[in-house]
Structure 1
Amino acid sequence: MNGTNGNEGGPVGAEKINTDIVTLTRFLTEEQSRHKEATGDFTLLCHALQFSFKSIAYYIRRATLINLIKFELTGLAGSSNTTGDEQKKLDVIGNDLFISAMKSSGRVRVLVSEEEEEAIVFDEHPQARYAVVCDPIDGSSNLDAGVSVGTIFGVFQLPEGAKGTKEDLLRPGTDLVASGFTMYGASTQLVITMRGGTVNGFTMDNALGEFILTHPDMKMPKKRAIYSVNEGNSMWWEEPVKDWCNGLKYPEGEGAKPYSARYIGSMVADAYRTLLYGGIFAYPADKKSKKGKLRILYECAPMAMVFENAGGQAVNSKMARMIEVVPEHIHDRSGIFMGSYDEVQKVIDVHKKHGISA
């Protein structure tokens, strides 16, 4: 036996296998069981969301695998979406998948997508209790370069007597019952949170076909010397933003060190890195885009909920708490600063010096 215990196997026998795996399906079921009043509708809706994320991940992997980037899947679809971004075929596929999944769930009354000018109302489900807002494939202009893209989503519960119109969704992010995002990169990551709850991260196991809980109860570092912002827009920035950014790059005081810059240009990827490592992500309004570029309903509000529940902060360019901002229309835009609590506080403090506060 060469000194080997007969009960010990080879490399496979010695491998420790975790059999207590928490899948997203199990996680949602256990969460439902903790709420006696739960009807199961929200859980079924989450399963439909999960299916759409898996489907979009599959098509993105397929596009890369068989090199159809410029042709079948990610080539230009020949149109622009309602917010003026060039629409690519994978955008169209992702949007169609999302609409189909929400419709077939039977639990969604209204859906707002970045790719659709008007809200989609599912009249075949008049008793459905939920509304979903989404950016099906955020950062799609980066697809040809292989940069991570993602899906951002939020879920509202419709009030009693809601007629199922887009006006039912002109509400602050504090009304969201759940939000999160999926990032499709080297691996597919899903981050999800519920109102007043923890933030949990899941990783897609392609062999099992399941999202596995890999980052339970995510908490952001309170501060971190990393900033993520497109400084190519700095000539249009307002003075408080310039002062804030210069303070990071040229800190005063003996031994002070400048911040590290990290900017990917895909909101989901920048947000996920900031969530994991700390720091700040900013996309401020400026003199060229006076309201800002990011959409309040399905980009800013869902992200703000994630960051606040993870211990961070999120504010708009007027220094108002982002999650409390009410959009004027379903595609309304805003500037945003979100990240570690102390880093966002620095932005707020600089703006106060310039007489700007919520």
Structure 2
Amino acid sequence: MNQSLATPVGTTLDRFIKKKQNDFAFATGELSQLLRDIALAGKIIHREVNRAGLLNIGGAYGAENVQGEEQQKLDVIANIRFIRALKNGGEVCAIVSEEDEEILDVKNPDGRYIVAMDPLDGSSNIDVNVSIGTIFSIFRRVSPVGGPITEEDVLQKGSEQVAAGYLLYGSSTMMVYTTGRGVNGFTYDPSLGEFFLSHPSIQIPKDGKIFSINEGSYKSFEPHVKEYIEACKEKNFTARYIGSLVADFHRNLLKGGIYIYPATDKSPNGKLRLNYECNALALICEQAGGKATDGKNRILNIQPETLHQRVPFYVGSTNMVDKAGQ
């Protein structure tokens, strides 16, 4: 038989998860199923994003979320889709979402995991067809299984994450995740309805030539941030800032660079949220050989005090983050 007529399609996400299951600290299959549930929700959001212009689900929803930000219609849709997938999967006991003020107790006392997520980061870019994403963190509950959810369950340091990842909806849809043993990326093939391993063992270069920052706020940056930006320009580094965190982070992860959202006069504590944006990307970056800080301290060592806590965020190539910090 001529095997060249049927070339292999590659390793599916499902097969990869099964193969790596024994690497998990608690190899019961629950975390594997949880990652599949997230992938399923990602496929649904891929469909919704790609049909947004046809179904009139772009644009503002007409309400604000807990952050005081105008919700987009797809923000609401993504939040509903991910919550539904996580509930139906049966592995989680609680969900923390950017779109909800309080902890969502899913009334599953036997669930062993907590998911913190930004269901659709950068959603204001939908109407102009710019890449957007989903960010997620997975924690193992610390309170006894079968009992009520506690504050300690949902306010864990990022170093306690058992898995973290993001989905990027762009020219192709990707899922990138880590379980603390390296970072792998999977690209969605809509014709087969499967994610396939496309970026195994991702490593971020120690140095890069890309800096991503909103220079519109330059006048309110701290002096050391201004100095770093000027140093980047003197070296003819490339400025790349989309305003979609997942897209900016993903580019720098693959090519080498730094993403900075510093403290400003308007946001003295930074703008990005620790629990469901910074922690996840910090773990991914570290597992890929990079670094993530708030300008001084390692992101994963910060003890959260509130669900929607904000922090300054410096993430990317190690040498660049070291130079950009205070």
2:135 pairs with one of 129, 134, 152: 152
Residues 296 and 130 (structure 1 numbering): CA distance in 2 closer, same or farther, change over 3 Å? Answer: same
Q: Is 1:305 aligned to 2:290, yes or no?
A: no
Q: Which amino acid aligns with 2:17?
A: L
Q: Structure 1 CA distance, aligned partners of 2:267 and 2:73? A: 27
Q: Which residue of 2 aligns with 1:137?
A: 120
Q: Structure 1 CA distance, aligned partners of 2:264 and 2:178? A: 31
Residues 37 and 249 (structure 1 numbering): CA distance in 2 closer, same or farther, change over 3 Å? Answer: closer
Q: Is the 8 A contact 1:238 1:287 kept in 2?
A: no
Q: Secondary structure at the match of 2:211?
A: strand
2:28 pairs with one of 39, 54, 78: 39
Report the CA distance between 1:166 and its aligned residue: 4.2
Q: Percent identity, please.
A: 43
| TM alignment of 1:261-276, pairs within 5 A | 261-276=239-254
Q: Which residue of 2 aligns with 1:106?
A: 90
Q: Is 1:95 aligned to 2:79, yes or no?
A: yes
Residues 278 and 78 (structure 1 numbering): CA distance in 2 closer, same or farther, change over 3 Å? Answer: same
Q: Secondary structure at the match of 1:224?
A: coil
Q: Is 1:323 aligned to 2:300, yes or no?
A: yes
Q: Structure 2 CA distance, aligned partners of 1:141 and 1:184? A: 13
User: Once structures 1 and 2 are overlaid, which stretch shifts more, 280-289 or 36-45?
Assistant: 36-45
Q: Is the 8 A contact 1:110 1:166 kept in 2?
A: no
Q: Is the 8 A contact 2:117 2:276 kept in 1?
A: yes
Q: Secondary structure at the match of 1:190?
A: strand
Q: Which residue of 1 aligns with 2:170?
A: 185
Q: Structure 2 CA distance, aligned partners of 1:105 and 1:235? A: 47
Report the CA distance between 1:240 and its aligned residue: 1.1
Report the CA distance between 1:167 and its aligned residue: 4.1
TM-score normalised by length of structure 1:
0.87
Q: Structure 2 CA distance, aligned partners of 1:84 and 1:56? A: 24
Q: Structure 2 CA distance, aligned partners of 1:15 and 1:237? A: 58
Q: Secondary structure at the match of 1:192?
A: strand
Report the CA distance between 1:165 and its aligned residue: 3.4
Q: Which amino acid aligns with 1:74?
A: G
Q: Which residue of 1 aligns with 2:8?
A: 18
Q: Structure 2 CA distance, aligned partners of 1:95 and 1:36? A: 29
Q: Which residue of 1 aligns with 2:49?
A: 60
Residues 34 and 332 (structure 1 numbering): CA distance in 2 closer, same or farther, change over 3 Å? Answer: closer
Task: State the Cα deviation string for residues 39-87 of structure 1 (Å, max 9, x = none).
Answer: 11111111111111111111001114x2x4xxx3123211011111110
Q: Which amino acid aligns with 2:142?
A: P
1:224 pairs with one of 208, 218, 234: 208
Q: Is the 8 A contact 1:278 1:339 kept in 2?
A: yes
Q: Structure 1 CA distance, aligned partners of 2:116 and 2:35? A: 13
Task: State the Cα deviation string for residues 134-167 of structure 1 (Å, max 9, x = none).
Answer: 0000000111000000000000000143731344
Q: Secondary structure at the match of 1:151?
A: strand
Q: Structure 2 CA distance, aligned partners of 1:309 and 1:346? A: 20
Report the CA distance between 1:14 and its aligned residue: 5.9
Q: Structure 1 CA distance, aligned partners of 2:31 and 2:153? A: 18
Q: Which residue of 2 aligns with 1:174?
A: 159
The structure with more radius of gyration: 1
Q: Secondary structure at the match of 1:287?
A: coil
C-alpha RMSD of matched pairs (Å)? 1.7
Residues 15 and 278 (structure 1 numbering): CA distance in 2 closer, same or farther, change over 3 Å? Answer: farther
Q: Is the 8 A contact 1:282 1:337 kept in 2?
A: yes
Structure 1 unpaired stretches of 5+? 1-6, 251-256, 352-358
Q: Is the 8 A contact 1:107 1:128 kept in 2?
A: yes
Q: Which residue of 2 aligns with 1:3?
A: none
Q: How many residues align?
A: 324
